[in-house]
Structures are given as C-alpha cells and as structure tokens.
Amino acid sequence: MNVFKKSLLFVVSLLCVFMGYSCSEDVPDLTVVRVQIEANTDEPVRIYGMKGSPEGGVVIRKNFDQTFQLEGNNDFSIEARCKDENTLIIIKVWIGGQLWAYTYGNKYLTTGSISLIH
C-alpha cells in the first residue's frame, strides 16, 4: 500500500508540472528580427537599414530573407529602392516570430521607424 501512495503522489506531481508548463505564456525574443523583401521583377532593388550591411546598402533581385539579432532596444527602419517604377516591392519585418511591419509599394519604400515597444 505504501508503494501505491508513493506512485500516486509521483504521478500527481508530474501532472502538476506538465500543466504548469502548458499554461505558461511563451514570451517572444524581441531581439530576433527577420526581414523578408520581395519584388515582382528581376530589376535590382537596393536595401538599406540591415544590420551589418554596407553604407551603400545591399542589392537584391526578386527576394531577400535575413534574420539577425538586435542589440538593445534600438529603433530601426528598412528602406528599399528600385529605379524601375513598375517594380512592386513588399517588405515584411518579423520580430520574435510576430509580424510587426508589412508595407508595399513601387520604386521607393520604407517601413518607417520600427520600435521594439509594440
């Protein structure tokens, strides 16, 4: 009988631990940033504002996907430029796995200032 009580106590304790984990809220890591940029043509698109990119920006064609780590709570913005006025550009910025910025347009596009305080 003593073994039964110990086993029952162990099972109940284990269930309480699992229920505690399932009820806890996942907190996203607000320092992980993913930037996705798409264009509907093969025209070159120059991107500014990416961490670690040169001052002159990065030139892409069609699509771009980069994930990087932010340091501190700095605000930032992503900018895309294309000489072709007919090229549609889409910028998506994901922070901590959540979509924080979505914008689209032709020729010149910016996300504006993106703050980590949402």
Per-residue pLDDT, 8: 56
- The string of pLDDT tens digits covering residues 1-18 is 566 656 555 556 655 555
Residue 38's pLDDT is what? 97
Count the Cβ atoms, other than its own, within 10 Å of residue 23.
7
What's the pTM?
0.72
Beta-strand relationship, 58-60 and 45-48 = antiparallel
Q: What is the pLDDT of residues 39-96, one digit of tens each?
A: 999 999 999 988 778 888 999 999 999 998 887 767 889 999 999 999 999 999 999 8
Return the pLDDT at 43.
96
State the Cα–Cα distance between residues 67 and 95, nearest whole angstrom.
10
